[in-house]
Each structure stands twice: as structure tokens, then as C-alpha cells.
Amino acid sequence: MMTSLTCRARAKHHTNRGCAKSRLRRRALTTPSATKHVTCRFLDLSSDEDCTMVGALLNEYASDAMGGATPLAPDVVRTVGAKLNEVPGAMSVAAFDENCVPVGLCNSLMGFSTFKALPLCNIHDVYVKPSHRGCGIAPQMLKLIEEEARARGCCKLTLEVLSNNESAKTSYEKYGFQAYELDPDAGQALFWEKALR
């Protein structure tokens, strides 16, 4: 997949047109995880290669039990990266193994907190390939997103997680996430949806 440039060189080389307005600096995080060595970097959503990577990784995620176990429509796989680039403030981070093979993806979208009158950053997708799970890769991707969210003045990060995804819940709790509640007597927030299409 990677040809002329190494992962580190690509991390320095890439710019992200979609995030340029927020002064997104090209950053890469290279740290040894529990047993796997990975490099994490922001993806360039104006790049056909990176958009193809987003579609492929999202399709793997959707095909996984925690993603619904149903592959995405081919048209979605083909266009989702470019369409993300049209969403103001959208960010994608990928993790690469020592052979520059992508093994993880984190997509985030900007939102707004009416209670604080400040922007927030919603972590919309977090996916790590089964072969690399349990190695601390998701927190490495989240760290890059958090750094940029802070630079944009966001008041918080938000995400959704399936109630039976115990390993993900444990990872997020270690990273500092917690269930959302305003008053313990009122209970914790639930994420609901109503499909329109």
C-alpha cells in the first residue's frame, strides 16, 4: 500500500486540506505498545490513497461483530473518505504497523456543547484490527485526536460504545472517558437513533 515513502516520511510529508483552517500540524506518534510497534498519523482526506484506506478500514469495522457484522455498500466504501473531507473539521487518524500496513482507524467529527457554548469533538469510529487488539493502539490514535481537539478549543471528547464491548469500555475508561450524566438521580445518558435513510 505504501510505496515511495516510509510511514514516518509520509507523516511529515502529508498535509490535510480539510483541517488546515484549524492549524492542524502534521503530527505522528511512534511508540511501542504492549507487543506491537505502531506509528499513528493524521490522514490526508484530500488524498485518494488515504481516502481508499479510510473506506477499506471502515468496511473491515462494519464487517466485525462490534460494527454490525455487515459489510458496507461498495459505493460507501468508495466515497466515504472523500465525503468526510467535505465535513468541516472532520479528522481521521490511522495506525500503521512496522511494515506500514494500516491496522487501526479513528474518525472524529466536530460538534457543539450548548451547555458550555464551546465546540466539542465526537469520536465517531474507533477500529483496531483483531490481530492488533489489546496492544494499546486505540489510545495512541485518541491521543492525536485529543491534542488537535485541545488546539481547536474543544471542551470535551465524546464517543459511543456498545454496552457489551467490555474491552473497549475498559480501554476508554483507562483513557479518561466515563458514562455521561448530569445528576446521578437522573441516570446515565443513552445514545438513541431514528433512521432517516
Residue 154's CATH number? 3.40.630.30
Residue 144 lies in a domain: yes
At residue 73, the pLDDT reads 98
Torsion of CA 55, 123, 167, 96, to 10 degrees: 50
Domain extent for 110: 7-166+173-186
Task: Please tell me the total count of domains within the chain.
Answer: 1
**Can you tell me the distance from the alpha carbon of 108 to that of 92, in angstroms, rounded to the nearest whole number?**
6
Give every residue of the chain whose pLDDT is below 70, as ranges: 1-36
Residue 142 lies in a domain: yes
Residue 195 lies in a domain: no
Residue 41 lies in a domain: yes
16 φ/ψ sector (left φ>0, alpha ψ -120 to 50, else beta): beta
At residue 29, the pLDDT reads 57
Q: Please check whether residue 93 is in contact with residue 114, taking contact to mean a CB–CB distance below 8 angstroms.
A: no
**Can you tell me the distance from the alpha carbon of 79 to that of 15, in angstroms, rounded to the nearest whole number?**
20
